[in-house]
Structure 1
């Protein structure tokens, strides 16, 4: 993160994280230090107690600073760097996919990522996934430049990608007509009208607005070529997950907070990713 990016973020969130003097005349922690503590926690993945030793704060103080700052990051930056997709924005994404990856009528690639989580109290097996660890699910749609178009966090780790998708807001909004995809358009250099779609893997259902690869058995040469083109474009969301995993090492180990706080942390990471990628 450059100094200019840090200053930009600080100016945006300062009104939400600034603290006044207390009745005991105790000097409040300044906004810049609050943001530094939060970025340190997200970037290193160290515990609240370790950070408290480094910054000479109480562990509970560090915890409250991180959660409050992450909430402010999402509240302020989300309307700017991850606004609700409009028809015009989705058309721009489709142009990016055609120019960069030569896949037409694609408004994003969708996939889910399991975020490691410390076993929540009294949760049973709802957060225990098929990879044999506890998690919540980050489902995201990425554009051709590996930035997130929209995200949804909080699905139970026990759910499959298809199950998480079926209960997601984007699925509900598309079926109810609240999410306006661009109207059908002709494929390049043809007179064949086709709908705009999201690219997904085999875990997702085949819909008129979700495109998945052909089944791997009995593939023809044409089908295999189509699968390779689809996978090349769909890897944008995989690369986006890889970038946040590399930059924010809190994702390397179980997040030792409640599921609700873990959702706030993951949302902050995703919005910082979009901001830094600009």
Structure 2
């Protein structure tokens, strides 16, 4: 019964008071059940559904992105979302974000099949968006080069010694292991092609968040709970998402739910039409290292040349 109450709460977003009435117990009992059960689910599933981030894992992920999304040497798509919450007690403006509501941030990296490789939850919404990733556990390891990213490889005879990269949007910093789109005006054809190809690969993380919201409707409400419970709720939902993705496959994703871009034929997923309490991070401004810009230019040249796909010019 504790599991039934917890899954119903996560899947419907029903209030704790309403659940208490349905199951003939007080809201405080429901709260305790949610706190304990989400913790147990997370502890039981975490190591089973999140792979260790090592060389072999990244090589598998890179093959998936190259085969399915025509993006070589990609070891994941990264994004973060503000999750709306009720104002925490005695928190002042710490969780009040630029969208003028209270939130915590879910930072996640996913593979080519909409499964999360990493998630970090709990950063206060008021924090600068560029600093949220840097201050996360994964971000600290990423910037200190303590993650087992595979060494550069030759993609083709003309595109050699290419580093493995994460694809992200404008909220993140361009580095030699993280690519984001060109944001200047009056882009060249080569740069617009790169932006399209990057967007096509990066859309995987947007779809992953879309699936999460569609299946776990607690993310369609402004979550009213203590911060520790909210963090456990998010972690629990991500664990359940990965478990269902691995064990149910496409049965977990009904037709029409996610965005599709098959050889340039793009369809928008139904998740985009549903209400959600998730907001995207604010774009980051600032200069990036010269080496990172040169790497992005190399990818742009490759996508416009021997790495081109037949439909890309129509899509830009």
Which TM-score tier does this pair reach, normalised by the shorter chain? 0.7 to 0.9
Distance 1:182-1:38 versus aligned 2 partners, 3 A rule: same
Once structures 1 and 2 are overlaid, which stretch shifts more, 254-263 or 157-166?
157-166
Match of 1:267 in 2: 235
Where do 5+ consecutive residues of structure 1 fail to align? 1-32
Residue of structure 2 aligned with 1:123, choices 83, 91, 94: 91
Match of 2:10 in 1: 42
Is 1:163 matched up with 2:131?
A: yes
Q: Compute the displacement of 1:188 (Å).
A: 4.2
Match of 2:115 in 1: 147
Equivalences, count: 246
Aligned Cα RMSD in Å? 1.2
Secondary structure, counterpart of 2:236 in structure 1: helix
Q: Compute the displacement of 1:191 (Å).
A: 4.7
Per-residue displacement from partner, 1:97-151 (whole Å, max 9, x unpaired)?
0000000000001010111111011212111111121000000001111110000
Where do 5+ consecutive residues of structure 2 fail to align? 247-316
Q: Compute the displacement of 1:156 (Å).
A: 1.0
TM-score (normalizing by structure 1): 0.86
Match of 1:222 in 2: 190
Residue of structure 2 aligned with 1:105, choices 53, 66, 73: 73
Match of 1:70 in 2: 38
Secondary structure, counterpart of 1:192 in structure 2: coil
Q: Compute the displacement of 1:206 (Å).
A: 0.7
Whole-angstrom distance in 2 between the partners of 1:188 and 1:68: 52
- Contact conserved, 2:134 with 2:143, CA < 8 A, in 1? no
TM-score (normalizing by structure 2): 0.76
Q: Compute the displacement of 1:201 (Å).
A: 0.4
Secondary structure, counterpart of 1:150 in structure 2: strand
Once structures 1 and 2 are overlaid, which stretch shifts more, 233-242 or 253-262?
253-262
- Contact conserved, 1:198 with 1:210, CA < 8 A, in 2? yes
